[in-house]
């Protein structure tokens, strides 16, 4: 075994079924995948996690609460000593489900908020969704479940970021994750959501300005999907060292396929858990070649001349592949855009 890393953190798409049809959804979620895993198959997959040193599993979708087995899988993982989180749009949350989350050991709940009321409801395609998110936050707070609000930043909501931050602070949110729109899936039908270089620059400047202030006031801004590499924020605590897929994390689709990240297209599959065991897929010499076999020769034109390239390894794999058709070529790099704007 030449590679010695382990998937400490897993993303698990429990179902692709969803009760919304969001304009920006990279997965184009709505209907379940054909032949999704049964409960028995899912639990057998869970049995393989301890030997691979899995520490945390993040349930996502689609809408993971539409899986009839989410609570049983969470409880099973709890008994295995593995932490579980869930990412939801909040529409299905009620006091009964929140209580159930508490009972089965859900550690964190990520809940999506994509703008102020009019913008959020438009992006989510459901009038009243914004109010339901705020109600869901109240319910989770009543059970003392840690909340991470997630905002996918796009051309429609970028100017609302200061107001969103103020709103989150007013309701006591401690963690706010911001991520750029990934140009794939249903987002391809709503290109007015796409941000240009000016939008990425505005987003990065917002984070630089507000991250230290908001942290002091009790709300931590968490950067993801390539935004980790923004100078002037507290990323020195955990420096960005490129896409972690295949090094310390990977994902499982609802039909049992393994890929580096759920935001990558479905053709980029490393293996099938219905055909091979997880250990064999993870340690296969050809798995996750785009990260494990990286060299500077793989850098695309957006990254090849950058002095940070060998640190960030070409940025977010999902953004890079979706926007440019290749890895290590992230066009949504704030560092590059900001440097070129000076």
pLDDT (tens digit per residue) in 11-44: 999 999 999 999 999 999 999 999 999 999 999 9
Helix (H, G, I), strand (E, B) or coil at 185: helix
Which of 52-66, 73-87, 253-267, 323-337 is the least confident region? 323-337
**H-run or E-run covering 250:** strand 249-252
d(CA 57, CA 75): 12
Residue 41, burial from CB neighbour count under 10 angstroms (0-12, 13-18, 19+): middle
pLDDT digits 0-9 by tens, 92-125: 999 999 999 999 999 999 999 999 999 999 999 9
Instruction: Look at the pTM and tell me if it is higher than 0.75.
Output: yes
Q: Work out the average pLDDT over 262-279.
A: 96
CATH 3.20.20.70 residue window(s) in the chain: 9-283
Does 1 score more than 80 pLDDT? no
Per-residue model confidence (pLDDT) at position 239: 63
Per-residue model confidence (pLDDT) at position 236: 47
Which of 36-40, 180-184, 240-244 is the least confident region? 240-244
Distance of CA 220 to the CA centre of its chain: 17
Name the CATH topology of 9-283. Answer: TIM Barrel (3.20.20)
Per-residue model confidence (pLDDT) at position 232: 52
What is the percent of the chain with per-residue pLDDT over 70, rounded to a whole number?
A: 96
d(CA 164, CA 41): 41
Distance of CA 122 to the CA centre of its chain: 21
Highest mean pLDDT among 110-114, 197-201, 291-295, 315-319: 110-114
Q: Work out the average pLDDT over 174-192.
A: 93
Q: Work out the average pLDDT over 288-301.
A: 94
Q: Which residue has the tokens 């020769």?
A: 297
Per-residue model confidence (pLDDT) at position 338: 87
Residue-level length of the chain:
342
- Which pLDDT band holds residue 84 (cuts at 50, 70, 90)? very high
Highest mean pLDDT among 78-82, 202-206, 338-342: 78-82
Does 175 score more than 60 pLDDT? yes
Contact predicate 126/86, CB 8 Å: no
Contact predicate 244/223, CB 8 Å: no
List residues bridging with 29 in a β-sheet: none
Tell me the two tokens of residue 256: 């049992």
Per-residue model confidence (pLDDT) at position 231: 57
Cβ burial 146-178 (10 Å sphere, 16+ → b, else e): ebbbbbbbbbbbbebbeebbebbeeeebebbbb
Phi and psi for 240 in degrees, rounded to 5? -70, 125
Does 2 score more than 90 pLDDT? no
Q: Work out the average pLDDT over 206-210.
A: 92
d(CA 313, CA 303): 8
Per-residue model confidence (pLDDT) at position 12: 98
User: Of 187, 228, 224, nearest to 323 (Cα)?
Assistant: 187
User: Of 98, 114, 180, nearest to 146 (Cα)?
Assistant: 98
Q: Work out the average pLDDT over 60-73.
A: 97
Q: Work out the average pLDDT over 316-330.
A: 93
Q: Which residue has the tokens 């869930």?
A: 86
Residue 323, sorted as left (phi over 0), alpha (psi -120 to 50) or beta, turns out to be alpha
Q: Does a cis peptide bond (omega within 30 degrees of 0) precede residue 62?
A: yes
């Amino acid at each position: 075994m030449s590679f010695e890393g382990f998937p400490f953190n897993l993303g698990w798409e429990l179902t692709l079924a969803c009760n919304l049809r969001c304009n920006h959804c990279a997965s184009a979620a709505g209907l379940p995948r054909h032949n999704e895993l049964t409960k028995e198959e899912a639990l057998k997959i869970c049995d393989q996690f301890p030997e691979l040193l899995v520490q945390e599993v993040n349930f996502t979708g689609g809408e993971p609460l539409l899986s009839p087995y989410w609570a049983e899988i969470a409880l099973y993982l709890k008994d295995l000593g593995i932490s579980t989180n869930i990412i939801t749009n909040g529409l299905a949350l009620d006091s009964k489900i929140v209580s159930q989350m508490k009972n089965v050991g859900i550690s964190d709940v990520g809940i999506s908020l994509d703008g102020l009321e009019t913008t959020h409801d438009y992006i989510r395609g459901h009038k009243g969704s914004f109010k339901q998110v705020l109600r869901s936050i109240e319910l989770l707070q009543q059970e003392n479940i840690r909340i991470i609000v997630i905002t996918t930043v796009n051309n429609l909501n970028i100017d609302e970021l200061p107001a969103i931050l103020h709103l989150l602070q007013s309701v006591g949110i401690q963690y706010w994750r911001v991520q750029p729109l990934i140009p794939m899936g249903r987002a391809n039908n709503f290109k007015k959501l796409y941000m240009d270089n000016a939008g990425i620059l505005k987003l990065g400047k917002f984070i630089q300005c507000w991250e230290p202030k908001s942290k002091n006031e009790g709300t931590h801004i968490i950067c993801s999907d390539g935004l980790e590499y923004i100078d002037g924020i507290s990323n020195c605590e955990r420096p960005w060292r490129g896409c972690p897929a295949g090094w310390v994390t990977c994902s499982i689709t609802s039909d049992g396929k393994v890929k580096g990240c759920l935001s990558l297209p479905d053709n980029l599959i490393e293996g099938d858990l219905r055909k091979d065991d997880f250990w064999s897929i993870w340690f296969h010499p050809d798995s996750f070649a785009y990260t494990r076999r990286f060299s500077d020769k793989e850098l695309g034109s957006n990254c090849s001349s950058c002095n940070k390239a060998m640190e960030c390894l070409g940025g977010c794999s999902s953004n890079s592949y979706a926007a440019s058709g290749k890895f290590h070529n992230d066009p949504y790099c704030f560092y590059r855009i900001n440097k070129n704007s000076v």
